[in-house]
Amino acid sequence: MSSYLSFESDRLYLRPTTEEDAALVLAILTAPKALKFIGDRNLKSEEDAREYIRQRALPQLRERGYANYTLVTKDTGMKVGVCGLYVRPDLDLIDLGYALHPDHEGRGFASESSKRIMHAAKAHFGQSKLSAITHGENIASIRVLETLGFKHKGQKIVAGYDGPSEYFEVLL
């Protein structure tokens, strides 16, 4: 993975997610909030999570040079979440997404990592605009997006999500 860009912010290292991050991905995507707001990705084991990473993150990383990034704290080296840029067939723009391990929510990691990824999207990946989607009841995520400058543009149906998602865009 060393041929792919990694980034850092004040408190975090952001490096491409690999199979070694399966335990983190499993913990995040099976947490009650993720099941409610992201949906059930049918992950039951670390092997399921490794396969999920192999099928979802790594192909896009190889094709585009960006995908999902694991967030690692500088002070302790702990993995606290993921943030990334995603190609979604139902969206015209590259999608910014983030998810934190439940033990690390509410500490500003989503905003901090998103700001860094947004900068990378423009500076390294040639994006001038990004989209973001979230569940209408995910008030914390909506607040993060608004703080980052995203503007609500309505709702969109996005494959892999139950019902309509709240849709946002930002000019970089």
Nearest to 34 by CA among 84, 99, 110, 81: 99
Which residues lie below 8 Å from residue 44, measured CB to CB, with a gap of 6+? Answer: none
pLDDT digit string, tens, across residues 96-123: 999 999 999 999 999 999 999 999 999 9
Topology classification of domain 7-171: Aminopeptidase (3.40.630)
User: So what's the pLDDT on residue 161?
Assistant: 87
Residue 1 has pLDDT above 80, yes or no: no
* pLDDT of 4: 96
Range 44-55 average pLDDT = 98
Whether residue 162 is predicted with pLDDT greater than 90 in this model: the reply is no
pLDDT score of 29:
97
**Strand partners of residue 86:** 95
Q: What is the rounded CA–CA span in Å between residue 20 and residue 91? A: 29
Q: Which residues contact 65 (CB under 8 A, 6 or more apart)?
A: 4, 5, 124, 125
> Could you tell me the pTM of the whole model?
0.96
Domain residue ranges of the chain, discontinuous segments joined by +: 7-171
